[in-house]
Structure 1
Amino acid sequence: MLNFLPSIVICVFSFLMYVVNTLFWLIPIIVFSLLKALIPLKISRTFFSYLLDQMASNWVALNTINQKIFYRVDINVEGLNGLSMREWYLVLCNHQSWVDILILQRVLHGNIPFLKFFLKKELIYVPFLGIAWWALDFPFMKRHSQAFLKKNPHLKGEDIKTTRKSCEKFKYKPVSVMSFIEGTRFTSAKHKKQKSPYQHLLKPKAGGIGFVLDAMGEHLTKIVNITIVYPDGIPSFYDFVCGNVKEVRVKIETTDVAQELKGDYFNDRAFKISFQKHVNQMWEDKDAVFSMLNKK
């Protein structure tokens, strides 16, 4: 534990360790992802998928070691019991800072399958990272706007079909799909502009969950609903790396995917209204949990 060092020294060395760790694993991930693409055998692709996920998990583990070496952050977690590496999860969480991702990875590492994020299809062309995300089986989605569909009605439903196809691999391999359904990080300015009915949260975008559940179909069996609170204020990544975050509170609630969340969100208006009510109630409950966790 080197948290006795000056903050700026901790910041520099900790950040360098994040960079070195990332580059160390990115290189073999790219190499094995190319092998995965070049060898079109199902058994080899399955092998490489597990191998690449293990590399990504090792990256998370070393990031956690980095954090423990340079600074002490007290992470109080409720609800880890009952999670499994053999289940298919949809992970939902409030979003306040980029630090959320580091906390989620640290808390969930070894408890559920490696977290995957739905990415826009265009991101596959990002140099190096695009092929790494593809190799790690991050699901890519293509969403058409309502204006585009009005001009091209024959393409209605194609985005869901494309995403479903990219998710077929998850039939055979447990997965955790992550979604920040507020769509952006919380700030007081955004909260005020939205006129959010919640004290601590932005409005949830039910369409995001609807898209994921529609695309993933029967593959997702449980929802992991996570509330993250920083009692000393929302930190920046810089604050975290410099060791200025002393406490994080996390509550995890795991439920089966409710029957009322299964349906055609985009074509069944009655289901869409019911779905939105369910999500809004979930967010109202989360706001109450946030208030409870935020008490000193």
Structure 2
Amino acid sequence: MLRWLPRPLKGALSLVLYTVNTLFWFIPLLLVAVLKLLPVKQWQAWMSYLADAIAVAWISFNNLTTHIFTSIKWHIEGLEKLSRKDWYLIIANHQSWADILILQNIFNRKIPFIKFFLKKELLYVPFMGICWWALDFPFMKRYSKNFLLKNPHLQGKDIETTRKACEKFRFKPVSVMNFVEGTRLTQQKHDKQQSPFQYLLKPKAGGTAFVLGAMGEQLHKLLDVTIHYPDGIPSFWDYISGKVRAITVNINVLPISKELIGDYNDLVYRERFQQWLNQLWIEKDQHLARLQSNGK
């Protein structure tokens, strides 16, 4: 392909193709979003599948751009256990903006199109809000602790509202993504947190527990994803310009047991869930340490 080009030129051409590809597919997606406003359930279901197909095509062309301009050696474990007809919650460590492109790359056409939980207020962002709605991104309603103290009758109402918004996923397979650390890993953030992990930030249990509380009965499996960059954490530019030589991704498929689903306001459940997530993060940190020592 064009991997022999100078790195700055590869990066510039990749960025142009990513941008053109995004604008090209944004137009039909926006049209589908408008058509989906027709309040007929069966029609809206058809439009939802069409919107997902558009998103998959967008990712496929992005992946083609990556293939043309980069020569990444991929080491991936766990893809063979996955299906586009199943329901997944995905959690992963977060180190770079490239993480999202990598997850879209490896999971495209392997599982349902990946969606992110968004704050309900984002529904009103011009153009993008209606596109996220057309793609069935789940919008969540969250109340602050101070608000709940003043309005105790609304305790648990946020979960109930979000759960109703996710009813459509009972019949339509979905993959929901959550970066548990809440932000990208940097040394400065690691030091500020005084993180007990060598290669990770502290996991934030609240967001994951909220997703499970709202969608636990619809989600069948949890994909615990570990992303490792043998040559160091790359920037987005490093990734699209061909500087990244190797990427290792491990996918651990776990069941979503009833013990993982509960009300995060319940202290007993909260402590149990935090212990479970911390143990998962201890194992992930150990796995990253082994990969680093092996140079993989």
Supply the distance in 1 between the matched residues of 2:33 and 2:140 (Cα, whole angstroms).
20
Deviation at residue 262 of structure 1 after TM alignment = 2.2
Q: Is the 8 A contact 2:225 2:252 kept in 1?
A: yes
- Aligned-residue offset at 1:160: 1.1
Distance 1:65 1:12 in 2: 15
Aligned-partner residue type, residue 76 of structure 1: H
Deviations for 1:149-185, whole angstroms, at most 9, x for unmatched residues? 1122222222112211111110110000000010000
1:159-217 CA distances to partner (integer Å, 9 max, x unpaired)? 11221111111011000000001000001111111111111000111111110000013
Aligned to 1:227: 226
| Structure 2 Cα separation of the partners of residues 217 and 97 of structure 1 | 28
Other-structure match for 1:28: 28
DSSP-derived class of the 2:285 partner: helix
1:45 is aligned to 2:33: no
Q: Give 3-state SS (helix, strand or coil) of 1:116's partner.
A: strand
Give the residue type in structure 2 aligned to 1:220: L
Task: Answer yes or no: is the 8 Å Cα contact 2:141–2:162 preserved in 1.
Answer: yes
Alignment of structure 1 residues 186-205 onto 2, 5 Å: 186-205=185-204
C-alpha separation between the residues in 2 aligned to 1:226 and 1:19?
27
CA distance in 2, matches of 1:293, 1:198: 15
Matched, 1:160 2:159: yes
The match for 2:118 is 119
Q: Which residue of 2 aligns with 1:91?
A: 90
CA contact (8 A) 2:73 2:246 kept: yes
* Identical positions, percent: 54
SS in structure 2 at match of 1:233 = coil
Question: Does the 8 A contact of 2:216 with 2:256 survive in 1?
Answer: no
Cα distance between partner residues in 2 of 1:143 and 1:104: 27
- Which amino acid in the other structure matches residue 9 of structure 1? L
Spell out the pairing of 1:266-277 with structure 2 (5 A cutoff): 266=265, 268-277=266-275
Is 1:15 the counterpart of 2:25? The answer is no
In the TM superposition, what is the alpha-carbon distance from 1:148 to its structure 2 partner? 1.5
Residue of structure 1 equivalent to 2:3: 3
Return the letter of the residue paired with 1:288: Q
Rounded to whole Å, the distance in 2 between the matches of 1:170 and 1:247 is 35
Q: Deviations over 1:71-102 (max 9, x none)?
A: 21112101111101111100010000110000
Q: TM-score, normalised by structure 1?
A: 0.97
TM-score, normalised on structure 2? 0.97
Q: Distance in 1 between matches of 2:195 and 2:11?
A: 35
